[in-house]
Chains A and B, each alone.
Chain A
Amino acid sequence: MPPGRIGARFEKLAREGRRGFIPYVTTGFPSLGDTREMVAGLAELGADVIELGIPFSDPMADGPTIQRSSQEALDNGTTVDDMFEVLRDLRRASDVPVVIFSYLNPVYSRGVDAFIREAVEAGADGILPTDLPLGADSELESRILESPLDLVRLVAPTTTPKRIREIALSSQGFVYYVARTGVTGAREELRSALAQEVSAVRSVSPLPVAVGFGVSTPGHARAVGAAADAAVVGSALVNRLAEGGVAAALALAGDLRRALDEAGR
């Protein structure tokens, strides 16, 4: 199969010797209008993949920041249809790869095949279901794996070496390495063992490896960039969006983009 938009983007990054920047946005937080401005701005400043989050009522893998943003988005009435609408709007202006970040139930509730069809039509390139680990539901996993959407899988610090290999071989687009045991959220420091762990994943993965969970500052981005192919930044951007609005969040995103470019040199 020819590489999709995600694969093509990582090939381009590799040719240029650059590191990828993957920002996360909660759809509908603090408003749908802000989400539209955020994704357009992120595409413009050179995000390599955008993770577009579907807010969920029970985000058990997320820390306080994403919990609050999800709750507020739902209180605003945000729906899965809204997420598709944001995506369609973005596609009129940009071909930046987009991965839908979701808990399984909103996808399951719609019907997995119907969800995939709508997502592809709206212009999504991949999906990252937080609570669908390898082997949890092989039938459902196959339906995503065989669809045009990339199924992006996560590896955690607790994952055994044998399982890391299995996950890396069955992931699509890239492998997402969770930088620490725990929930999402901005942190002061990254763990010192991170570089070594990431290198263990890269050594068995045919796909690029992105690192997320706790990546908050340009300093973190440089450190992650030294070890991994890309950095995912979620809570720090959501925090900045909550505090200073779209302009402030995009300013942080610009700093992170530059920090990753420095790391790639």
Chain B
Amino acid sequence: MTTPAGRAGRYGPYGGRYVPETLIPALDELTDAYAEARADPSFLAEFDALSADYVGRPTPLYRARRFETAAGVGPVYLKREDLNHTGAHKINNTVGQALLARRMGKPRIIAETGAGQHGVATATACALFDMECVVYMGMEDVERQSLNVYRMELLGAEVRPVKSGTRTLKDATNEALRDWVTNVRDTHYIIGSVVGPHPFPMIVRDFQAVIGREARRQILEVEGRLPRSVVACVGGGSNAMGMFHAFVEDGDVALIGVEASGHGLGSGHSSAPLSEGRPGVLHGSLSYLLQDADGQVAPAHSIAAGLDYPGVGPEHSHLLDSGRATYVSVGDAAAQRAFRELPGLEGIIPALETAHALAWVAEAGRRGEIAPPVAICLSGRGDKDVVHVSRLAGVDAGKGSAP
């Protein structure tokens, strides 16, 4: 397992541990426990066994030929993280961290969630290991993702709606951090993305790095060469970091992260800190951040709740500054079009988050601006988004008929 270069927990100047003093001993404890776990063959064996038998790994790398024709670029491969148990990549991390929490003797788990995918994946891991689970979710997301709320409750988790601030993922994260500060002695915080104070960005990346390791091996098997473009959507950036990590040393492979530009860059209604933010401190680490001139965090917007976050993982900030990765953006409308197109082409309904990556590849392909072979991380399935998108299209899928 690699650790960040240079100062502990830093990616270039980014990352760090900007947290209240109360959490420092817990972060030290977590850092040590994780280092021990990674060196313990029995821990790794249990994680690998669960990844295979419970999560369903390895996920397929599927060549999307009809999508290729529509996009005018090929070959294009989809790394099918939507086929994981619970329908997204999130479970790779929650199973790993729940194992770690059990090893540390922490019986209580907390998590934040935006769209509910990480909350469901956390509740699932907690059910599996018989742990108490509390999930913080912004009131606005509770309302737009009611199906996932019920799913978490079925799995035995308590969902606590967060009514402060913008009532979305950012505020759910604040509330989870407040819970952790208060109950740190018996509680582990399973953070859902490559964000937060060190060692979280490293731990989440390491548990997600299986995505890129598999994809790299799989594409070498079928193509006999590496992809020239690897693409993933970026909110906090966990599926992207998981996909990119195995390719970082492959200098000829372009790494392309797709942020959500919402109503458009510059509109004040976007979620693209790498495209239009500047470095700042939120939720314990230094990274690109949407903020006003006074350093107040700006509200984010995206049609995809999982991308609706004003910050981003610190390693992405470093990949941007170093030039190793490129970050582009796609808005709500293009993401919705991609969400509607892929089912008819490939029989796959992608998550709205993932649809941002698909939309960018399709646009870049038509313009001849992306080099094949292309590997896209299909981070999650879109069942959770069907009602939301159908309502926006004027069709109420919840009622079954068009108005």
A residues sitting closer than 8 Å to B (CB atoms) are 56-64, 67, 71, 74, 79-80, 103-110, 130-134, 136-137, 153-160, 163, 167, 178, 181-183
Contacts and interface: CB of A to CB of B under 8 A. Distances in A.
Contact of B282 (A58, A63, A163): A58
Contacts of B281: 103-105, 108, 131
A154 B185 CA distance: 19
B22 interface: yes
Given A57-B165, A104-B281, A109-B280, A131 B20 contact: yes
B6 to A, nearest CB: 13
A105 B177 contact: no
Q: Which of B178, B184, B282 has the most CB atoms of chain A within a 10 A radius of its CB?
A: B178
Contact of A154 (B16, B20, B171, B286): B20
A60 B283 contact: yes
Contacts of A80: 294-295
5 contacts: A58-B297, A108-B295, A153-B21, A159-B21, A178-B20
Interface residues of B, number: 37
A155 B22 CA distance: 8
B164 A131 contact: no
A57 B297 CA distance: 6
B20 A105 contact: no
B182 interface: yes
Contacts of B185: 158, 181
Report whether over half of chain A's contact residues are helix, strand or loop; otherwise say mixed: loop
A134 B295 CA distance: 22
Interface string B130-160: 0000000000000000000000000000000
Contacts of A71: 164-165
B319 interface: no
Contacts of A155: 21
Contacts of B184: 158, 181
A239 B21 CA distance: 25
- 7 A-B pairs with the lowest CB-CB distances in the bound complex, closest first: A109-B295, A106-B295, A182-B182, A156-B22, A61-B20, A57-B296, A105-B295
Given A159-B24, A159-B25, A183-B182, A109 B16 contact: no
Given A60-B174, A63-B178, A105 B17 contact: no
A133 B17 contact: yes
Contacts of B124: none
A181 B165 CA distance: 23
A180 to B, nearest CB: 8
B265 interface: no
A197 to B, nearest CB: 13
A133 to B, nearest CB: 5
A136 B18 contact: yes
A174 B147 CA distance: 51
Contacts of B20: 60-61, 130-131, 133, 154, 156, 178
A71 B26 CA distance: 29
B51 to A, nearest CB: 32
Given A57-B297, A178-B22, A109 B291 contact: yes
A105 B282 contact: yes
A74 B16 contact: no
B170 interface: yes
Interface string B3-24: 0000000000000111111111
B280 A108 contact: yes
A178 B397 CA distance: 52
B181 interface: yes
